Chains A and B, each alone.
Chain A
Amino acid sequence: MTTPILEVDHVFAAYGRGAARIEALKDVSLSVERGEIFGLLGPNGAGKTTLLSCLEGLHQPESGSLRIAGLAPRQGKAKLGVQLQKTALLDDLTVVELIELYTALYAVFPTRAQIDALLTRFDLAEKRTKFIRHLSGGQQQRVALAIAIANNPEIVVLDEPTSALDPHARRAVWDLIRSLHDEGRTVILTTHAMEEAEALCGRVAIIDRGQIIATGTPASIVAGLNINPVLKAAAELPLEQVRALPGAQAARYSGQYLEVETTHPQTTMPALHALAAQLGRNLSEVALRQPNLEDAFLKLTGRALSA
């Protein structure tokens, strides 16, 4: 068995003291294998960024240990490529100047051709002499990602790499993250978007209120919880009566959609149609949805992930 490239062992971390003390991480342990795309999934304030800060050597945990390829975070900084939640780009520098600055910090000095190759890969070749402040949000995010791998790191640490992006830019970033994985780099990223974790990550840890409440592949986490499939429909029906339908385990509204957890979709679906007909209500867009990480989070915490 190989040694994990990232090891987090019983980490406790807090901010502030006295009455203002916030316990951000409470006994967090996890390990990431070389070459994985590992996701930290959880709502805002769950402790995702704090955990990354501990890995990046930016926050000193109160107890527990972290290892980056066997090194303590402060010694392991050179092995990481980092993209912080705040993009931290200097507005008055050009794209090339910024890349040169951030590689120099790692004592890496790329040639012109290497910088050009990097910019081409991140679709920034035409922007090389543009000032950062003249770039769009998606372009700035790609610059931040380019910086994160410009020092040729073994491990890339991305804090909410797509949170402020439109769907198109988001998919472009997903492709780039996958390409990092294809090169054999290890990627650890945070997200509060379930579909991002499912689309990108080989394994995820679900983190809530400073604790890891599940770890595994997205499919294994969902399967392990024995969550029922969900019937989804655009309808306005009394939840009481829906819950009483054969096979129905639970019912709720998610947005304007009715969601019914069921053990027997084949029986519940016709019964739902019958109920709507009996009450003279509309029922449309009926679909059966397999459970996902969002449902897993709900089952584990009793709360919705995207509140």
Chain B
Amino acid sequence: MQRFLTLTKAMFLVYLRERSTLFWNFAFPVFLLVIYAAVFGGDDLPGFMGWMVPGVLAVNILAFGLISSATMMTEFRQKGVLRRLQASPVPTLTLVGAYIVVNVAVAVLQAALVVAVAMTFYGLQLPAVNLLLALPMVLLSVLMSVALGQVVSGVAPGSGGAVAIGQILYFGQMFIADLIMPIEQMPGWIQSVGPWLPGYAIAQLVRPPLQTGALSPEFGANLLLTLVYGAAAALLAAWLFKWEARS
């Protein structure tokens, strides 16, 4: 257990000290929220925030997995850290466990920061029940997103490549998956494609609990979509995984 905790602490510190991750994980989400509020907020700011904040959370969860988590693993690989870990007697399961715990912790911190900013500065009211119901949805979404990120890390040639692939996947979904633009306002083809995307599933898992304190009517379908994406990504990532960078 002490071994697990030391490993978790070290990875956590690496996340918090790396400047680009720090920016993308903590400064950028708040910045996104401020911009959206200024541009689209209108007269009913708290009402708008009720819809937008879950969307921003979902966007961040997606970006966290596809970019931050993918890049971190790719850098560990490139710098030879994975190789050194492999040379130690630590069980692979302990490493995977620590990596997941750290990723979930950072993503949840990031979500908490966005919620706190929205509640403090934009008058968003979120009853405790909403937050409690949303928490497991956030955790589940983060796990799926991190699994997707590990697929990115498995196919990316280097950390630059991981960022590029991650960003394409993330920006692609940002506008068409009901995250920050209501999907009802989209052209027909997007309305039929969008609901199959991981980003859409995250948005639908997280938004109704936060907004209304209840699950959405399509909760079952979106949960299934999340689990399928997550499991498929985890299997694919495990298959693609390499301890060492291609030289």
Chain A residues near B (Cβ < 8 Å) = 56-58, 77-78, 80, 82, 84, 86-93, 97-98, 100-102, 104-107, 109, 131
Stretch at the interface among B80-88, B125-133, B164-172: B80-88
Whether A90 and B10, one on each chain, are in contact in the complex, defined by CB atoms closer than 8 angstroms, is: yes
Q: Is B18 interfacial (CB 8 A cutoff)?
A: yes
Q: Which residues of B contact A102 (CB under 8 A)?
A: 84, 88
Q: Residues of B within 8 Å of A, CB-based: how many? A: 22
Which B residues lie at the A interface, using CB under 8 A? 2-3, 6-7, 10, 13-14, 17-18, 79-81, 83-90, 243-244
- What's the nearest-Cβ distance from chain B to residue A127, in Å? 17
CA distance A80 to B79 in the complex (A): 21
For the complex, give the distance between the alpha carbons of A80 and B85 in Å: 13
- In the bound complex, do residue A90 and residue B80 qualify as a contact, i.e. CB atoms below 8 Å apart? no
Cross-chain contact A86 with B14 (CB below 8 angstroms): no
Q: A106 near B80 (CB under 8 angstroms)?
A: no
Q: Are B86 and A58 in contact (CB under 8 A)?
A: yes
In the complex, besides A88-B83, A90-B10, 18 extra interface pairs with C-beta distance below 8 angstroms are A56-B87, A58-B243, A78-B89, A80-B87, A82-B87, A84-B83, A84-B84, A84-B87, A88-B80, A92-B13, A92-B17, A93-B14, A97-B10, A104-B3, A104-B6, A105-B7, A106-B89, A106-B90
Which residue, of A78, A80, A90, has the highest number of chain B Cβ atoms within 10 A? A90
Determine chain B's interface SS by DSSP, over half rule: helix
Residues of A within 8 A of B80 (CB): 84, 86-88
A102 to B90, CA, bound (A): 10
A–B Cβ pairs within 8 angstroms, 13 of them: A58-B86, A77-B89, A82-B84, A86-B80, A88-B84, A90-B10, A90-B14, A90-B79, A93-B13, A97-B10, A97-B13, A101-B10, A105-B90
Give complex CA distance A58, B88 in Å.
10
Is there an interface contact between A77 and B87, defined as CB atoms closer than 8 Å?
Answer: yes
- The answer to whether B88 and A77 have CB atoms under 8 Å apart is yes
- A104 to nearest B CB, angstroms? 4
A60 to B223, CA, bound (A): 41
Nearest residue (CB) in A for B18 is A92
How far, in Å, is A273 (CB) from chain B's closest CB? 51
What is the minimal beta-carbon distance from B68 to any residue of chain A, in angstroms?
14
Q: What is the chain A residue whose CB lies nearest that of B2?
A: A109
Q: Is the CB of A105 within 8 A of B83?
A: no
A248 → B minimal CB distance (Å): 44
Q: How far is the CA of A56 from the CA of B244 in the complex (A)?
A: 14
Nearest chain A CB to B91's CB is how many angstroms away? Answer: 10
B204: min CB distance to chain A, Å: 36
